[in-house]
A = this chain, B = another copy of it.
Amino acid sequence: MARQPTSDAIARPGPPTAHDVARLAGVSQSAVSRSFTPGASVSEKTREKVLKTAKELGYRPNLIARSLITQRSNLIGVAIPHLGNPFYATLLEALSEDLAEHGYRAMLFPAPMSAFVDPLIEEMLSFRLGGLILVSSSLSSGLAEECLRIGLPVVQVNRVSSRGTVSTIVGDNRGGAAQVAEFLVAGGHERIAYMAGLEASSTNHDREEGFTECLARHGRSLSHRVVANYSAEQARDHARILLARPDRPDALFCANDHMAIAVLSVARAEFGLVPGRDISIVGFDDTRLSAMPEFSLTTFRQPVIEMARDAADVLHRMISAPDAEATRTVLPGELVIRGSARLPG
């Protein structure tokens, strides 16, 4: 591997630096830097010469060094829960593509869905990231303030926090859940149950509240309520118990599709129930699976793709305009009626 220590271009290990290019091109090192900076002041001749020798040497600007001086990287930390839930898988994919379009890169932080992700963020901060996207998780108010203080833009997706210092993008959890309730009541169901997600989450809170409040407006209330923490496993377990009861619900609204599909599967395979006839099951999200004929899940669609795009856009805006206000976006969704729940009328 040892290179010949020739006259000028001596062999150091590692990739070539701007200095190497400068020497070989007979210009100053700053000329090299400028040649790689979009709006910089360089003559076309110089830039060409530089770019040419850069290519010869295989030179690429060191982004680490760049962000050390510019005090910000184009790295965006993305905290996202369990990718086994297709909603998150889709969101992450869209997110990383949208970020890439703005010139950012996603740094992945697998995060539990639970309330706070402070320890994670602590680590993120050491990277001097350009921004943070928190999917279904929140910062403690302390950390949120620290982010604000050091000027680190944060956007939360699919979760709202009480503090107003971070931007949020959410679906219409409350309204969507109300539409589901409306639909279920109109369908003439007798015993309407709710399967909760993570109780500490704002999504669950809003969906449950929207659901039960609408029920209440019809003079109805929940026949059963179980908590499955957005986990498919727990959803299955609860389904086995719930469906075995003599007074089992004839309608079950699950706080997300991931659980709804697990429940639906158990209902059919283990209890011989026909969804949409013997029992109505409704989810929330409208993931890829839900549309398959095997599940044909009635659900409230969240516009994942738009949520991702909005998140990337908002973050980009915050990064570009450092003292912009935090924004709150609520994206509308729609009730998608399929076969898993009895129709009204």
**Hey, which bits of chain A sit against chain B, CB under 8 A?**
13-15, 58, 60-65, 67-68, 71, 73, 75, 78, 82-84, 86, 89-90, 92-93, 96-97, 100, 105-110, 122, 125-128, 146, 150-151, 265, 268-269, 288-289, 292-295
Residues from chain B with a CB closer than 8 A to the CB of A126 are 60-63
Residues from chain B with a CB closer than 8 A to the CB of A107 are 75, 105-108
Chain copies in complex: 2
Bound complex: CA of A90 vs CA of B289, how far in Å? 16
Given A63-B128, A84-B89, A110-B93 in contact, is the A58-B146 Cβ separation under 8 Å?
A: yes
In the complex the two chains form, is A110's CB within 8 Å of B100's CB? yes
The smallest C-beta distance from A118 to any residue of chain B, in angstroms, reads: 13
Residues from chain B with a CB closer than 8 A to the CB of A83 are 83, 89-90, 92-93
The smallest C-beta distance from A315 to any residue of chain B, in angstroms, reads: 15
In the complex the two chains form, is B97's CB within 8 Å of A110's CB? yes
Contact of A108 among B14, B105, B294 (CB under 8 A): B105
Give the nearest-CB partner of A66 in chain B.
Answer: B126
Give the nearest-CB partner of A150 in chain B.
Answer: B15
Bound complex: CA of A81 vs CA of B61, how far in Å? 27
The smallest C-beta distance from A132 to any residue of chain B, in angstroms, reads: 14
Bound complex: CA of A126 vs CA of B60, how far in Å? 6
Residues from chain B with a CB closer than 8 A to the CB of A82 are 93
Bound complex: CA of A125 vs CA of B67, how far in Å? 15
The smallest C-beta distance from A227 to any residue of chain B, in angstroms, reads: 23
